[in-house]
């Protein structure tokens, strides 16, 4: 199951993955009036809110950023097919 992890004090970091990094399948930066950074992962090892966490990008993308670190602010389990969530397979009506 995919977990969306909202991060406080988030940093995008260059450098190779470190032991203990969780895989980050998706990384989002919402640069608005209230900026947010969140990561989506399939890992079941996401710590509880208030704990430090580090993620490594699941794929090399040559962005100059390979890791995301921060403090877990909150985490939300995502379900396939739910409004606003990703779905697997074809989209009905297309």
Whole-model pTM?
Answer: 0.81
Torsion angle, alpha carbons of 28, 39, 3, 82, to 10: 0
**Cβ neighbours around 37 below 10 Å, total:** 20
Tell how far CA 61 is from the center of its chain: 15
pLDDT at 27 over 80: yes
Q: Which region holds residue 89: left if phi is over 0, alpha if psi is between -120 and 50, else beta?
A: left
Query: Can you give the pLDDT at residue 81?
Result: 60
Instruction: Parse the chain into domains and list their residue ranges.
Output: 3-77
pLDDT at 76 over 60: yes
Query: Can you give the pLDDT at residue 69?
Result: 98
């Amino acid at each position: 199951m995919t977990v969306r992890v909202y991060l406080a004090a988030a940093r995008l970091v260059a450098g190779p993955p470190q032991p203990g990094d969780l895989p980050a399948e998706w990384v989002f930066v919402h640069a608005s009036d209230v900026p947010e950074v969140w990561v989506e992962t399939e890992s079941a090892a996401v710590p509880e809110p208030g704990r430090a966490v580090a993620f490594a990008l699941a794929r090399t993308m040559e962005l100059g950023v390979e890791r995301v670190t921060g403090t877990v602010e909150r985490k939300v389990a995502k379900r396939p097919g739910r409004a606003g969530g990703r779905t697997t397979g074809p989209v009905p009506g297309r």
